[in-house]
């Protein structure tokens, strides 16, 4: 930032890109573009000088759009009702969702497997969804939540074992 650039800005006016002059580098207190910086606040992506705390409206910051859910003991956000993601796999994840069960007719929590591969045409859609009370989704005490499981059979006597997909704990037989 040379003296000639400052003089040019004095004569012709600044060339603003948001909050910062492209020519001389001067910063003004308007035109900031905020991006998520962390749990304590956000920072301007142009000047990196202006930081502000998040302004929460439920679980979303009004300024930068950061999202932070607060879950109740059932695993649903107390502000927006979104279910907690309980498991992640390559290309999909398992999330709690509230649905009306086709078996019992009640609104119950469901474990939904959702496509998480942006290249897949089904991106964001559910592969399957199962009512926790009716489908008897397994509860893992180590993970402290309902989880998706893998059922394996012993090749010698065909005995079944059920393993938690998240932590690998043997859930059945105990």
Q: What is the CA radius of gyration of the chain?
A: 25
Report which of residues 144 and 77 the model is more confident about: 77
Q: Torsion angle of alpha carbons 12, 18, 21, 23, nearest 10°?
A: -90
Q: What is the pLDDT of residues 7-58, one digit of tens each?
A: 778 778 888 888 888 888 888 888 887 776 556 677 788 887 767 788 889 9
Model pLDDT, residue 42: 74
Q: Check whether residue 20 and residue 46 sit in a common domain.
A: no
Torsion of CA 101, 132, 154, 127, to 10 degrees: 60
Within a domain: 141: yes
Same domain (yes/no): 105, 161: yes
> Are residue 120 and residue 134 in the same domain, yes or no?
yes
Task: Give the total number of structural domains in the chain.
Answer: 3
Question: Are residues 18 and 46 located together in one domain of the fold?
Answer: no
Same structural domain, 97 and 151: yes
Based on the fold, state whether residues 117 and 148 are members of the same structural domain. yes
Residue 3: its pLDDT value, please?
66
* pLDDT of res. 89: 81
**Residue 2 lies inside a defined structural domain of this protein:** yes
**Residues 112 and 149 both lie in one domain:** yes
Report if residue 137 sits inside a domain.
Answer: yes
How far apart are alpha carbons 11 and 52 in whole angstroms? 33
pLDDT at residue 40, rounded to an integer = 63
Confidence check: pLDDT of 122 > 60: yes
Check if the beta carbon of residue 140 is closer than 8 Å to that of residue 115.
no
Whole-Å CA distances, 70 to 31, 46, 67: 31, 31, 10
| Structural domain boundaries enclosing 16 | 1-31
Average per-residue pLDDT in the chain? Answer: 80
Q: Which residue's entry shows tokens 């907690």? A: 84
Same domain, 99 and 39: no
Q: What is the pLDDT of residues 128-161, one digit of tens each?
A: 777 777 776 677 778 777 777 777 877 777 777 8
Same domain, 44 and 113: no
The answer to whether residue 79 sits within a structural domain is no
Rounded distance between C-alpha atoms, residue 88 and residue 15, angstroms: 47
- 98 and 138 fall within a common domain: yes
Q: Are residues 100 and 139 in the same domain?
A: yes
């Amino acid at each position: 930032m040379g003296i000639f650039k400052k003089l040019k800005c004095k004569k012709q006016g600044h060339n603003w890109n948001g909050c910062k002059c492209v020519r001389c580098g001067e910063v003004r207190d308007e035109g900031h573009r905020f991006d998520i910086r962390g749990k304590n606040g956000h920072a301007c992506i142009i000047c990196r000088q202006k930081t502000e705390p998040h302004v929460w409206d439920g679980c979303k910051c009004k300024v930068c759009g950061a999202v932070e859910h607060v879950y109740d003991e059932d695993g649903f956000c107390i502000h927006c009702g979104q279910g907690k993601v309980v498991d992640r796999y390559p290309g999909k994840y398992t999330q709690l969702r509230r649905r009306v069960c086709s078996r019992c007719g009640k609104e119950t929590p469901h474990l939904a497997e959702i496509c998480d591969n942006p290249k897949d045409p089904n991106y964001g859609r559910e592969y399957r969804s199962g009512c926790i009370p009716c489908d008897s989704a397994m509860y893992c005490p180590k993970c402290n939540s309902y989880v998706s499981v893998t059922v394996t059979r012993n090749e010698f006597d065909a005995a079944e074992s059920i393993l938690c997909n998240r932590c690998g704990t043997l859930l059945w037989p105990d």
